[in-house]
A and B are shown apart, each in its own frame.
Chain A
Amino acid sequence: MKTGTRKTVLLVIGAAMVLTTAGCGGGLLSSGASGAATPSGPVKLGMVVPISGSSAPTGAYMKNGAQLAVDEINKAGGVLKGRKLELMVEDEACDAQQAVASANKVVSAGVVVSVGGYCSGATLPTLPIFQKANIPMIIPAANSQDLVKQGLANVFLINGTGKQQSTTALAFMKKSGFTTVALVDDNTSYSKDITTETQAQIVADGSVKVLLNTSVTAGESDYSAVVRAIMAKNPALVYWTGYYQEGGLIINQLKKAGFTGKVMVADGSVDPSLPKIAGAGAEGVFATMTQTPDTIKGAERWIANYKAAFNADPGPYSTQSYDAVRLAAKAIEDAGSTKGADIIKALEAIDGFSMFSGPLKFTPEHTLSSGGFVILVIKDGKFILNALQP
């Protein structure tokens, strides 16, 4: 009797489950891909950026930049004869596993173009997901050489690559007469990429000497070990290629240790909070960076629009994300369809599309033909364009 009741209950549960199953669409047995884009209705753009975690501030800048472009395009009538753009933002938290989940989520939602990608390490594993779904990726920030090396047809980088950044850094070192340099990275994909490239180019060039090439562990607060190592070698320039949290601390601790040389940081450290973290050591720190709205002439109106829309200042990669959306819209318009293959062809054909970093034309590798890197310097706690450019 006891067993009988139990079996009945289980049977009922089983039957209920089967019924629920039959009632739902979207399962394995239902026909047609659930993510297929509808011929009318909004055109969806997917953006996988860090919304949580230590890089969350940059994710917000990117999201706002993209949203601004979406709003502007929609106001001007949308794309493909009146279809609206719709931005779908998902969190990657700079972690591969979360990035893959988010990428799958936006693919399932039927996005037409991906306009996200900040942390190179988290963006790499999302490439095959977008490639399988044949969705073009316009990557606004992530710029590791590893992304280029995959040689995927659907991947386009609109940030300068690590290689181009290294070239700018070396040219600046030569021009301002730094003969000895220490390269410090934080052992993330993006950062290591730049030090490796810079080291290779310096060795090939021969006029600058690398005294030290070392890595620190990101996320710590005491960097005295690397500071001591730098002090021992006493280079004329320290080139830090990691992100701003650690960069600020290292600059601060170098200053306290009495370091007299100069410090230069790469684009991951260009953030309004770097001078705040670095404190007194921040003045005169150089940076290799693509143009930001602050340093572009005639961008005041854009900044005003951004402030009006989000009640906040634009930050790093706001412009790149803005441009990524505009570029996506332009490619969709040129292709006349939302099919991945057509959009990729349209992107490859684009010539002279005006962006913040200058007129755009992709190389066969799908990177920018010129990196657009400039040298910034911190003055009165703010990044401004340096007088001397390479």
Chain B
Amino acid sequence: MSENVDATLAPQRLGPPRSPISRLLESRLIGWVALAAALLAPFVTASPYSLNVMTTAAIFVLLASGLNIVVGYCGLLDLGYIAFMAVGAYTAGIISKSFELPLLFTIPAVLVMTILAGLIIGAPTLRLRSDYLAIVTLGFGEITRITANNLSVTGGPSGIFGIPGLLKIGGLDVENPAVLYYLTVLVVSLFVLASARLGKSRLGRAWRFVREDEDAAEAMGIHTYKVKLLAYIFGAIWGGLGGVLFAAHLSAVSPQSFIFLQSALVLMAVVLGGMGNMRGVVIGALVISLLPELLRDFASNRYLVFGLLLVVVMVFRPQGFWPARGYERERATVDVDPPAVATEQGR
């Protein structure tokens, strides 16, 4: 955390981490450990299947970290988040297919399109609150999918297939699943880091304020409309880039991949992991994307088992695996000695 953080607004730790385990979990190194684990994973198993599953999981982490900005930080319930991924994937797919360009060069266009999509959905609807916003985003998600299903430029129901790879430089073939995996992990970890840093920035604190009490935030001089729109735009960018990686990974984009269930799964990853806590969200995303694959042995019952496990988790960890610390605790417990905070910060 930077030194010039305004201590009154910063998410405060209400007590020193107690056990060695929680101290370890609070460590900033945990991110590096996770990255190292991701980088070492292909040395353990590198079959096309496991690489495929791991790449899918990494893309899912990117999506969840994007949605975490919108839902976790800013508290805007978005039930159609997958639409941004659809916009990104289709933009990348269409441009790279019609101009025979590697997907990497479509990123500027993807950014423009997803920001535009974020503005289109955000600008008129962000004056709405809670339930109403959720309904509009739900509609936006379905509109995007059904539009893609009916347009001929998006390939209709078959979608777009045979999309060229992400990049081709000399002998380095990015279509090789292992190379694509590493590239995905690199991009995703950068964006997860960016999302976590964003949450601790001035803007991030404004988001939290809006989430806790929008009227109070407005009274304190935060331009809530602008701040919420920014949350949407950042979320859209994350989703759009997830779409580019998705297109590179599957080499095909079809409307069936952007059904409401997908939006719900990303939201579930954020809620399950712990809204607002980037580390929790990463874990949530990994669980949501990997568990159905691990449960494949249950065949037709696997989603039943998956659902049951999720219910069990939410019964025992109602705040998610790893809830954001500091502002979840009851006010009554605030009376822990404040110097501990000071030493922790001044260390």
Q: Determine whether the beta carbon of B157 is less than 8 Å from that of A101.
A: no
Q: Are B52 and A104 in contact (CB under 8 A)?
A: yes
User: Which residue of chain A lies nearest to B30 when distances are taken between CB atoms in the complex?
Assistant: A10
Interface residue A192 (Cβ < 8 Å from any Cβ of B): yes
B99 adjacent to chain A (CB < 8 Å): no
Bits for A112-125, please: 1 = Cβ < 8 Å to B, else 0.
00000000111011
A124 close to B254 (CB less than 8 A): yes
Q: Does B226 make an interface contact (CB < 8 A)?
A: no
Are the C-beta atoms of B150 and A215 separated by less than 8 Å? yes
Known: A13-B33, A125-B254. A28 touches B43 (CB 8 A): yes
A150 at the interface (CB under 8 A from B): yes
- B-side contacts of A10, CB under 8 Å: 24, 27, 29, 33
Dominant SS among interface residues on chain B: helix
Whether B49 pairs with A107 at a CB distance below 8 angstroms is yes
> Taking the complex as formed, is B168 at the interface, i.e. its CB lies under 8 A from any CB of chain A?
no
B307 CB–A CB distance under 8 Å:
no
- The answer on a CB contact under 8 Å between B47 and A34 is yes
Query: Once bound together, how far apart are the Cα atoms of A90 and B295, in whole Å?
Result: 12
Question: Could you tell me the distance in whole angstroms from the C-beta of A98 to the nearest C-beta in chain B?
Answer: 9
* Nearest-Cβ distance from residue A375 to partner chain B, whole angstroms: 26
Evaluate whether A56 and B300 lie within 8 angstroms (CB atoms) in the complex, with A96-B257, A107-B49, A217-B146 already known.
yes
Are A27 and B45 in touch, CB under 8 angstroms?
A: yes
Taking the closest CB of chain A, its distance from the CB of B45, in whole angstroms, is 5
B290 to chain A, nearest CB (A): 11
Q: Known: A52-B303, A100-B52, A124-B161. Is A26-B254 also a contact (CB below 8 A)? A: no
Within 8 A of A (CB), among B223-257: 250-254, 256-257
In the bound assembly, the distance between CA atoms of A35 and B50 in angstroms comes to 12
Of B34-42, B73-81, B113-121, B332-340, the one contacting chain A is: B34-42
> A322 → chain B, closest Cβ, in Å?
20
Q: Mark B29-73, 1 if CB is under 8 A from A, else 0.
A: 100010011001011111111111100100000000000000000
Query: Hey, which chain A residues are within 8 Å of B253, CB to CB?
Result: 96
B178 lies within 8 A of A121 (CB): no
- The complex places the Cα of A213 from the Cα of B253 at a distance, in Å, of 25
Q: In the complex, are the beta carbons of A128 and B254 less than 8 A apart?
A: no
Cβ B293 vs Cβ A21 within 8 A: no
Across-interface contacts of A91 in B (CB, < 8 A): 296, 299-300, 302
Question: Shortest beta-carbon distance, A126 to chain B, in Å?
Answer: 9
How many angstroms between the C-alpha atoms of A283 and B156 in the bound complex?
Answer: 33
**Separation in Å of the A266 CB from the closest CB of chain B?**
15
| Shortest distance between the CB of B173 and any CB in chain A (Å) | 11
Instruction: Say yes or no for A51: interface residue by CB 8 A criterion.
Output: yes
Contact A122 B256 (CB under 8 A): yes
* Residues of B close to A27: CB separation below 8 A: 42-46
Q: How far is the CA of A122 from the CA of B259 in the complex (A)?
A: 14
Q: 1/0 per position for A23-54, CB-CB distance to B under 8 A?
A: 01011111000110000000000000001100
CB distance from B307 to the nearest CB of A (A): 12
Judge whether A146 is part of the interface by a CB distance below 8 angstroms: yes
A144:B52 contact, CB within 8 angstroms: no
A-B residue pair count with CB separations less than 8 angstroms:
137
Q: Is the CB of A24 within 8 A of B254?
A: no
- B49 close to A26 (CB less than 8 A): no
The reply to whether A192 and B302 contact each other, CB–CB distance below 8 Å, is no
* Chain B, Cβ-Cβ closest to A192: B157
Query: Is the CB–CB distance between B48 and A35 below 8 Å?
Result: yes
Give the residues in chain B near A224, CB-CB below 8 Å: none
How many angstroms from the CA of A16 to the CA of B285 in the assembled complex?
25
Most buried by A among B24, B43, B158, B251: B158
In the assembly, what is the distance between CA of A9 and CA of B45, in Å? 25
A17-B254 in contact (CB<8A): no
* CA of A34 to CA of B178, assembled, Å: 14
- Asked if A294 is at the interface (CB within 8 A of a chain B CB), the reply is no
Q: Which residues of A contact B162 (CB under 8 A)?
A: 128, 150
B197 interfacial by beta-carbon distance below 8 Å: no
A105 at the interface (CB under 8 A from B): yes
Q: Tell me which of A104, A125, A187 contacts B161 (CB under 8 A).
A: A125
A129 at the interface (CB under 8 A from B): yes
CA distance A121 to B258 in the complex (A): 13
Q: Which of B29, B161, B293 contacts A6 (CB 8 A)?
A: B29
Task: State the Cβ distance, B311 to closest chain A Cβ, in Å.
Answer: 18
Partner pick for A26 among B20, B27, B45, B296, CB 8 A cutoff: B45
Q: Is A108 at the interface (CB under 8 A from chain B)?
A: yes
Is the beta-carbon distance between A124 and B300 smaller than 8 angstroms? Answer: no
Any B CB within 8 A of the CB of A94 = yes
Chain B 140-153 near chain A by CB (<8 Å), digits 1 or 0: 00000010011000
Q: Say if the beta carbon of A74 comes within 8 Å of chain B.
A: no
Q: Which residue of A lies closest to B149 (CB)?
A: A187
CB atoms of A20 and B44 under 8 A apart:
yes
Contact A24 B44 (CB under 8 A): yes
Q: Is the CB of A14 within 8 A of B159?
A: no
CB-nearest residue of chain B to A128: B251
A14 touching B296 by the CB < 8 A rule?
no
Known: A14-B33, A35-B48, A52-B300. A124 touches B252 (CB 8 A): yes
Q: Does B129 contact A (CB under 8 A)?
A: no
Chain A CB within 8 A of B23 CB: yes
* Most B CB within 10 A of own CB, among A97, A108, A189, A215: A97
A340–chain B nearest beta-carbon distance, Å: 15
Q: Is A365 in contact with chain B by the CB < 8 A criterion?
A: no
A216→B303 CA distance, assembly (Å): 28
Question: From residue A359, how far is it (CB to closest CB) to chain B in Å?
Answer: 31
Q: B304 CB to closest chain A CB, in angstroms?
A: 9
Please name all residues of chain B whose beta carbon is closer than 8 Å to the beta carbon of A122 when the two chains form the complex.
256
Contact B37 A17 (CB under 8 A): yes
Given contacts A187-B149, A192-B158, 15 further A-B contacts (CB under 8 A): A17-B36, A28-B42, A28-B178, A30-B46, A51-B300, A94-B256, A95-B256, A96-B256, A100-B252, A101-B49, A101-B293, A105-B52, A107-B48, A109-B49, A146-B158
Nearest first, the 10 A-B pairs at minimum CB distance are A125-B252, A108-B47, A108-B49, A189-B158, A27-B43, A104-B52, A105-B49, A104-B49, A104-B48, A28-B46
Chain B residues proximal to chain A, CB less than 8 Å? 20, 23-24, 27, 29, 33, 36-37, 40, 42-53, 56, 146, 149-150, 156-159, 161-162, 178, 250-254, 256-257, 293, 296, 299-300, 302-303
**30 pairs from A and B in contact (CB 8 Å cutoff):** A10-B27, A14-B33, A26-B44, A28-B178, A29-B43, A30-B46, A35-B47, A90-B296, A91-B296, A91-B302, A96-B250, A97-B56, A101-B293, A104-B52, A104-B53, A108-B48, A121-B159, A121-B254, A121-B256, A124-B252, A125-B250, A125-B254, A129-B48, A146-B161, A187-B149, A189-B156, A189-B157, A191-B157, A192-B158, A217-B146
